[in-house]
Amino acid sequence: MALFLSRFDNKVDGKGRVSVPASFRADLTSEAFAGVIVFPSPVSDGALDACDIDRIKSLSEGIDSLNPFSNEFGDLATAILTKSHRLPFDSEGRVILPQPLLQHAGITGLATFAGRGATFQIWAPAAYEAYELEASDRAKDQAAKFELHSRNNSGRNQTENGA
């Protein structure tokens, strides 16, 4: 399973090409697809959500489990699947961010890659700075209530208190 950690700021050229951080690329290359799936975040204004092919397949399966004639199915399929872009790596580890994604995120000369565990986000640096400050403030209150879930040897979930 992919694990995306840390933050990187990388230059975006005039054609929308940006180098994906090397530590991220290592988790994004599989037999199925050597690249990244990117779509406008349905919950974080100005952010692009990014993941590997297995994660988008899981999201698709979750959406497929909904009533195919419901608004919930249509809304999530449109917001995530319809707006997703498969971005293959070039020989230098770069992807080309399509214009609609660049516009959604307000990305011009630099892009911030922010690891989120199984996924990562891509932001315009100033927008990410503002988001990070707000998220860090909220996390202070949430950390005391956080419960870490781990598996014991029998495969059952156990809960540990603390951050």
Domain ranges of the chain: 7-125
Instruction: Check if the beta carbon of residue 46 is closer than 8 Å to that of residue 137.
Output: no
pLDDT (tens digit per residue) in 68-89: 999 999 999 999 999 999 999 9
Q: Measured between alpha carbons, how far is 69 from 66 in angstroms, rounded to an integer?
A: 8
Residue type at 122?
I
User: pTM above the 0.85 mark?
Assistant: yes
Residue 113 exposure: Cα atoms within 13 Å on the Cβ side: 24
β-pair partners for 78: none
pLDDT (tens digit per residue) in 20-79: 999 999 999 877 899 999 999 999 999 999 999 999 999 999 999 999 999 999 999 999
**CATH class of the domain whose range is 7-125:** alpha beta
pLDDT (tens digit per residue) in 127-147: 999 999 999 999 998 888 888
Instruction: Check if the beta carbon of residue 60 is closer than 8 Å to that of residue 153.
Output: no
Residue 79 to residues 43, 48, 104: CA-CA distances in angstroms? 10, 12, 13
What would the two tokens of residue 128 be? Answer: 């990410």
